Amino acid sequence: MSNLFIEYPKCTTCRKARKWLEEQGADFTARHIVEQAPTADEIRGWAAASGLPLKKFFNTCGMKYREMGLSTRLAEMSDEEQVALLASDGMLVKRPLLVTDEGCVIPGFKADTWQKALGR
């Protein structure tokens, strides 16, 4: 099994993360976050595996997040409503997202965190 790297190819952070993975010689499968958006089941599983609250999986810098006023609305939403919203549009999901073959899930790119998760 290989690590799953979920990206939006036009995103500069995603490009930086991809380059880093390649330089590390990491085995990964890339997935375009818009063309193949995460499912509700995937999001639930990733949140559980990461131990992070669902709000950490939202792309808070994204245009859609701001347009929808989610900075104030998320607190009022149930977990299931948040999961459904994330599954409805890949652009709402924080990226890049790394899911290691050991089940570690990390939204966003920080080389030192990814390095530990990949055992490098």
pLDDT at position 2 is 86
Spatial CA neighbour of 10 closest among 25, 32, 29: 32
- pLDDT at 120 (0 to 100): 65
Question: What residues make up the domain containing 92?
Answer: 3-117
The whole-model pTM stands at: 0.92
Query: Does 108 score more than 90 pLDDT?
Result: yes
Interval 98-119 mean pLDDT:
94
The predicted structure's pLDDT at residue 47: 96
- Separation of CA 108 from chain center: 6
Q: Is the model's pLDDT at 117 over the cut of 80?
A: yes
Q: Is the pLDDT of residue 106 over 70?
A: yes
First-to-last CA distance in the chain? 17
Is 21 within 8 Å of 28 (Cβ atoms)? yes
Judge whether residue 1 has pLDDT over 70: no
CA distances from residue 70 to 11, 75, 79, 86 in whole angstroms, order as listed: 21, 9, 14, 11
Residues in a beta bridge with 97: 6, 107
Q: How many domains does the chain have?
A: 1
- pLDDT tens readout for residues 12-64: 999 999 999 999 999 999 999 999 999 999 999 999 999 999 999 999 999 99
Instruction: Note the pLDDT of residue 119.
Output: 84
Decide if 30 contacts 5 (C-beta within 8 A): yes
CATH number for the domain harbouring residue 89: 3.40.30.10
Task: Give the pLDDT score at 84.
Answer: 97
